[in-house]
Each structure stands twice: as structure tokens, then as C-alpha cells.
Structure 1
Amino acid sequence: MTDTTELWLIIVALGLGSFGLRFAFLGLVGDRAMPEWVLRHLRYTAVAVIPALVAPLVLWPTATGGEPDATRLAAAAATFAVGYLTKNVFAAMGVGATVLVSLSLLL
């Protein structure tokens, strides 16, 4: 366990760093028009971040000790297929959740 003073120092330092990063974009650049190439790359941020957050949960789930699980892989495949075919995020999430719960109960 760390000392209370050290813990608060770390929390304050992280808070200042987080504020500095946000201020760099919102405070310094927020009122200026961005170049087209920057806007084009920013459009793909969510498309890149969401799979990066989900992939470890599917491929190395903590619940199974880091071993891939057929239930999670099937739910991910169903989610991807429905999302690709329908272009509807809510339908994809609903089908993925349904497949995950259904297979968890059956297996």
C-alpha cells in the first residue's frame, strides 16, 4: 500500500496531465478550423477504439482464465455479421447479447 501523500500526489499529477491533454485540443485548437486530412482521420476514431476495447474481452476473457471461449466467439461473430449486414448498431448489440446469453444458458 502506498503512502497517502504519495497517492494524492499521483492523483493530482494524473488530473493535471489529463486536463493538459484536453486543453491542448479544446482550448488551443478548439476555435480553429482543422485541415480536411485531420477531420478525415478523426472520423475513424470510434471505429478503431471500439474493437480495440472489445477484442481482448472476446479473445482472452478473464472469466475463462484467458482461454478463448466458443460462446464469446460465437456472440462476437453474430454481432459482427448483423452489424455488417444491417449497418444497425443496436440490432448488432441486441443479437450479440442474445447469442451470448442463450449460449451461456445452453452450454
Structure 2
Amino acid sequence: MNQIDDTTIWIIIVGMAFGSFGLRFVFLGFVGDRPMPAWLLRHLRYTAVAILPALIAPLVVWPAATNGEADIPRMSAAAVALVVGLITKNVLAAIGSGAITLYGLLYLLG
């Protein structure tokens, strides 16, 4: 097994810290005291909506629990959460219904 030496790990950690700080500083340091254009604010509204699907999609399509094979409980839970979210426009209801569907089908199907 290849091991990465400590120097390389620390260079990556420090580089990511500077990159993360720089990205945040662009918005907070340079733009923080000025009003943002309406078109930018309109696009930033969709950031939070895009994060949850981006985090969940890999877990549904390539679940580690099944060694990357798609299965009925996870696909069904994703479909139920999507439908409940579209109908109710409630994030908590979508998450709750998806979780109940997932654990219910895992219990029923083994």
C-alpha cells in the first residue's frame, strides 16, 4: 500500500486552507460592504437548493453499502423524497419521508 509522506499531506492541507480562505475572502472581504447586483443575488439563491442533491446523488447512484450497485430501497427513497419535496415544498418533509422509506424498505427487504 502506498503511503503519502507527511510533508505532502501538510502541503495539501495548507494549500486547501489558503484556497478556502481566499474563496471566502473574495465575497466577504472585497464585496462584503457593497451591494451585490440583482442578477448575482438571484443566482446565489439557488446555491442551497443545489447542495443537498449534490451530496445525496452519489449515495443513491453508487451506494457504498452495496459496493456501488444500485438497489431498490435507495432508489425508492430518493424518488419518494423527490415527489414529497415537489408537492409540499418542505425540505424536512422530503428528508423525513425519504428516510422512512429507506429504513422501511431495508427492514422489509432485508
* Aligned partner letter, 1:63: A
Q: How many residues align?
A: 107
Tell me, which stretches of 5 or more residues in structure 2 are unaligned? Answer: none
Stretches of 4+ aligned residues off by more than 3 angstroms: none
RMSD after superposition: 1.2
What SS is found at the alignment partner of 1:95?
helix
TM-score between both structures, scaled by the size of structure 2: 0.89
Aligned match for 2:11, one of 9, 20, 24: 9
What pairs with 1:1-107 in structure 2 (closer than 5 Å)? 1-107=3-109
Comparing 24-33 and 45-54, the one that deviates more: 45-54
State the AA in 2 paired with 1:93. I
Uncovered stretches (5+) of structure 1, i.e. residues with no partner: none
Instruction: Indicate the percent of aligned positions where both proteins have the same amino acid.
Output: 62
TM-score, with structure 1 as normaliser: 0.91
CA distance in 1, matches of 2:75, 2:108: 15
